[in-house]
Structure 1
C-alpha cells in the first residue's frame, strides 16, 4: 500500500484524534494582550524550539519580541533542542511547559504515556523534508546494503524513512540492521558524514536537505510526493496538559505571538530568514549561508494547521515500523480550542 493510500485509510484513526475544540531566555515584559496579567497566566513560560528553518515561526516570534508582546508580565524562558525525542523528554519531565516539535515524537510521547504527556494545540509548518542520497544511487533498490542517516531514532524523519523503505520491500530494525542500515545522527554530523562518504544519504528536514544537495547529493524522495495534496506537518506546538489546563491565557498568548510571526514572515521574509540564521549561528556556533536558508524556505509552508489526518497516518507508520509498541489511539491528542478562539478574534479562518 502506498503512503498516500495509507494516509487515506488513516481517516478512520482521525476520528479518534479528539479535536476538542543549549539554552537561552527572553524576558517577556513588554505591554501586549491581557494574557500576562490574566488569572490563568503563568509567571514563567518555558518554551522549546529547534535552531532550524522548520521552526521559523517560533524563532521569529521570539527574536522579534512577538511572544513577549502577548505574554505581558510573564517571563519567557527559551530552550533549544536538536531533535524531537529530547524535546519530548524535557516536556514529560516538566523541564519545559511547551515546545515546537515534529509530529512523530509528539504522537509517540502521547501514545507511550497513555495520553497523559502532551496536547497538540497548533501546527506551525508543513513540508520541508527529503531523502537526499549520493548521486550514484538512482533507485530505491540501490539503498540495500547502504547506510542512511536520520536525525534521531523515532523522530519524524526516522519514521518516514523506515516506513517508506518498508513500503518498498526493504527491511530495517531499530538496532541498525536489516536491508538498509539506518544510523541516527545529529543533523550537523549527518552533513559531515555525507561529505566524508561515511553514509550514502539521509532523510532530513530543511535546511539540511538543501545543504546535502549543495554538498553534492541529490533528492531521491521529496516527502511532498508521498502525501495527499503534498501536505504533511513538520512542526507542531505541543503543550503539557496540566499547563494547558492551569494556564490557558499563557497558551493563548503563545498562539497570538505565533499568528503575528506568520504575518511577519509573510511580509518580511528577508528579516525572518535573518532571524533564523542568527539563532542557528548562536546555537551551533556556525553561520548558515543565507542562500541555503532562502532555498530551504521555498519548500515550507508556515501554517497553523497541524494536518490531523497526517498525524494519524504518521502514528500508524510508527507502529508499522516498531517505533510504537502498541496500536495508536490518538483520542484527545489534538485540542485546537484556543487556537480557533485566537483565529476567530483575528478574523481568520479556523482550523477544522
Structure 2
C-alpha cells in the first residue's frame, strides 16, 4: 500500500511539474524570448564586439561613457574591435564573442552559417554608406575598368556594391578590391583604387581629405532613406542563459543613443576620442560633422528591409540561395526595453519565430 501511495504522490508531482512547464512555454512563445530558468543569472562576463567606425557610434559611446557598465552591474564587460563583419562572425561562431555590433549583411550570414544559433536583437545605426570616386567619374557607365574598394569580401558594403553593379549591367566589368578602411584611403590617394563603397567616417575622409566625389549615397536606394547599416546580434545560447545581461546591454545602448541625441557636439567628441584610442588617429571637425550628418542612431532594426537584404546577397553572388529569415530575430528583450521607455515595440516583419 505504501508503494502505491508513493506512486500516486509521484504522479501528482510530475503532473504539476508538467503543467508548470507548459505555462512557462506559453510565456516564452508570447515574448519570443527564452524563459529564464530558476538557475539562470546575469553572466559573470559578456564579450562585446564592434568596429572603430562612426557607424558604430552607439557602441563607441556606450563603452566610452560607461553606459553599458552602468546597466551590467557586476557583469564584467570585455570588448574586442574588428575591421569588418566576416571577422566578427568568425569570432561569434568560434564562441569567443557573445554579442556584436555588425553590418546587416554579415548578420544574415552569421544566422545562416550558425544554422539559426545567432540572432538579431536590435538596430544601432541607419545610413552612413556612400560610393565615393575620383572627381572625373560622374556616372555608373564610367566605372567600367575601374578599381573600387570595399572593406571586406561579403561585408555589407561589398554586397551593396555588387548588387548595384549587377543592376547597372556592370557585373564583372569593375574590379573590386577588399581593403581595410585605412588602407583604402591611402590607396585612393596613390591612385591604386578609383573609389570605394564605404561606411562612415571613411566615405567622408575620402571626400574631405582626399578629394573624392559622391557618385551615390546608399540612402537613395532605400524607402525613406532608411536601411540597417549596423545592428546588434547575439549567440542564441547566451541569450537563453543570460537574458538579463542581454537586456542590460540593450538598456545601455538605449542610454547611449538618448545621450548622443541630446548632446550631439559632445557625442562627436566622445566618438573621436574612441577612434583615437582604437585606431590611433582622430577625425577633423569637418569629417566628423559630415559623417554624423549621414547617420541615424536608432534601436529600430528596420526589420522590413531584411528580406530585401537577403535577396541582395544572392544578386551580388555572395550566396546561392535566398535565406529563410524566420527565426532570425528575437525582439523580446528589445521590446521590453522599449516598453519600459514608453516607446513603440519593434515589428516582427516575419523575422521572429
Q: Shift of the alpha carbon at 1:233?
A: 0.7
TM-score w.r.t. length of structure 2 = 0.86
Task: Give the Cα separation in 1 of the matches to 2:164 and 2:178.
Answer: 16
How many residues end up aligned between the 2 structures?
311
Pairs within 5 Å for 1:32-181: 39-116=40-117, 118-171=118-171, 178-181=172-175
What secondary structure does 1:170 align onto?
A: coil
Deviation at 1:153, TM superposition (A): 0.4
Whether the 8 Å CA contact 2:101–2:232 is kept in 1: the answer is yes
Deviations 1:23-74 (A, max 9, x none): xxxxxxxxxxxxxxx9421000110111110111111111111101110000
Provide the C-alpha distance between the structure 1 equivalents of 2:317 and 2:244, rounded to a whole number of angstroms: 38
Aligned to 2:187: 193
Task: Mark the CA change 1:213 to 1:262 in structure 2 (over 3 Å): closer, same or farther.
Answer: same
- In the alignment, which of 290, 308, 316 is matched to residue 295 of structure 1? 290
The 2-side partners of 1:144 and 1:207 are apart by 26
**Secondary structure of 1:79's partner?**
strand
Residue correspondence of structure 1 range 204-219 to structure 2 within 5 A? 204-214=198-208, 215-219=210-214
Q: Which ranges in structure 2 are unaligned for 5 or more consecutive residues?
A: 1-30, 34-38, 348-353
Residue 315 of structure 1: aligned partner = 310
Higher RCO structure (Cα 8 Å, ≥6 apart): 1
Matched, 1:222 2:217: yes
Q: Is the 8 A contact 1:125 1:301 kept in 2?
A: yes
**Could you say what secondary structure the match of 2:317 adopts?**
coil
Task: Spell out the pairing of 1:246-325 with structure 2 (5 A cutoff).
Answer: 246-325=241-320
Structure 1 position 262, deviation (Å): 0.9
For the residue of structure 2 that corresponds to 1:328, the secondary structure is coil
List per-residue Cα deviations over 1:231-288 (Å, max 9, x = no partner): 1011000100100110000000000001100111011112211111112111221222
Where structure 1 has 5 or more consecutive residues not aligned to the other structure, the ranges are 1-18, 22-37, 172-177
Out of 323, 335, 344, which is 1:349 matched to?
344
In structure 1, the residue matched to 2:350 is: none
* Greater percentage in helix: 2
Question: 2:12 is matched with which residue?
Answer: none
Root-mean-square deviation (CA, aligned residues, Å) is: 1.3
Tell me the equivalent position of 2:197: 203
Where in structure 2 are the equivalents of 1:4-19 lying within 5 Å?
none
2-structure distance, mates of 1:50, 1:84: 9
How far does residue 293 in structure 1 lie from its aligned partner after superposition? 1.3
C-alpha contact (below 8 Å) 1:187/1:208 kept by paired residues: yes
Greater shift, 81-90 or 285-294, is seen at: 285-294
Deviation at 1:325, TM superposition (A): 2.8
Alpha-carbon distance in 2 for matches of 1:252, 1:347: 16
TM-score scaled to structure 1, two decimals?
Answer: 0.86
The separation in 2 between residues aligned to 1:302 and 1:126, in whole angstroms, is 7
